[in-house]
Chains A and B, each alone.
Chain A
């Protein structure tokens, strides 16, 4: 079982804003990183640290954190944002761990 908890599925209307959350005790002391995975492809880093975006990631992707919850926000969701999203951090033992993933549907 994962020590990072994500909602299995979230949907958003095209052009609207969606927040995907990740909960875990370790997030009180560790920032989450976020990955986008489209079918048949490898995961891609979209957010890390305190709201940092790698080169090439659109600025509609942003991250935040409060208490034991990290959030990935997509402002103005596009059809191409439909994908699975995973959070990642360290657990209480110092091991790396992934959340169970959230399937985002853009309506």
Chain B
């Protein structure tokens, strides 16, 4: 059964870059038809899509974060990564990674990782 798991620092200083990695196990990140996504959830708030990537490297970013976000994939390690630059306290959130299945007219994120809390503070 495919699983995804986030990893990375839990504390980042303001103005620095947040870096997280999602490791895929039980399946290949290069599987045709699947994208990989990052989603975040500030404390007490709703879910926000950050961006998605296909194993070929094609990326899609939330327009509100596009200028600060980079998502990349490493097929040799079965991982994909998130970098968010110039962070502020507003970027404090639980960050989730998930597999994204896209079929004409339908979309779904499944499964999700457990999430990792990233706090932006000096």
Kindly list chain A residues whose C-beta atoms are within 8 Å of the C-beta of B112.
42-44
**Residue contact B47 to A101, C-beta cutoff 8 Å:** yes
Partner of A101, one of B46, B52, B60: B46
Residue total for B at the interface (Cβ-Cβ under 8 A): 24
Complex interface bits, B59-81 against A, C-beta within 8 A gives 1, otherwise 0: 01011000000000000000000
**Which residues of A pack against B, CB within 8 Å?**
2, 29-31, 33, 35, 37, 42-45, 48-50, 54, 86, 88-90, 93-101
Q: Given contacts A43-B96, A95-B60, A95-B62, is CB(A33)–CB(B106) below 8 Å?
A: yes
**Residue contact A48 to B108, C-beta cutoff 8 Å:** yes
In the bound complex, what is the Cα–Cα distance between A63 and B96 (angstroms)?
25
| Nearest chain B CB to A8 CB, angstrom units | 10
**Which residues of B pack against A, CB within 8 Å?**
37, 39, 46-49, 52, 60, 62-63, 96, 100, 103, 105-115
| Residue of A whose beta carbon sits closest to that of B48 | A98
| Nearest chain B CB to A66 CB, angstrom units | 15
| Residue of A whose beta carbon sits closest to that of B113 | A42
**Residue contact B47 to A43, C-beta cutoff 8 Å:** yes
Kindly list chain B residues whose C-beta atoms are within 8 Å of the C-beta of A42.
96, 112-115
Partner of B49, one of A37, A98, A100: A98
**Residue contact B105 to A30, C-beta cutoff 8 Å:** yes
**Residue contact A49 to B106, C-beta cutoff 8 Å:** yes
User: Would you list 22 pairs from A and B whose C-beta atoms are within 8 A, ordered by A residue?
Assistant: A30-B105, A42-B112, A42-B114, A43-B47, A43-B109, A44-B112, A45-B109, A45-B110, A48-B106, A48-B110, A49-B108, A50-B106, A54-B110, A86-B46, A88-B49, A88-B107, A88-B108, A96-B49, A96-B107, A98-B46, A99-B46, A100-B46
In the bound complex, what is the Cα–Cα distance between A45 and B96 (angstroms)?
14
| Residue of A whose beta carbon sits closest to that of B115 | A42
**Residue contact A95 to B106, C-beta cutoff 8 Å:** no
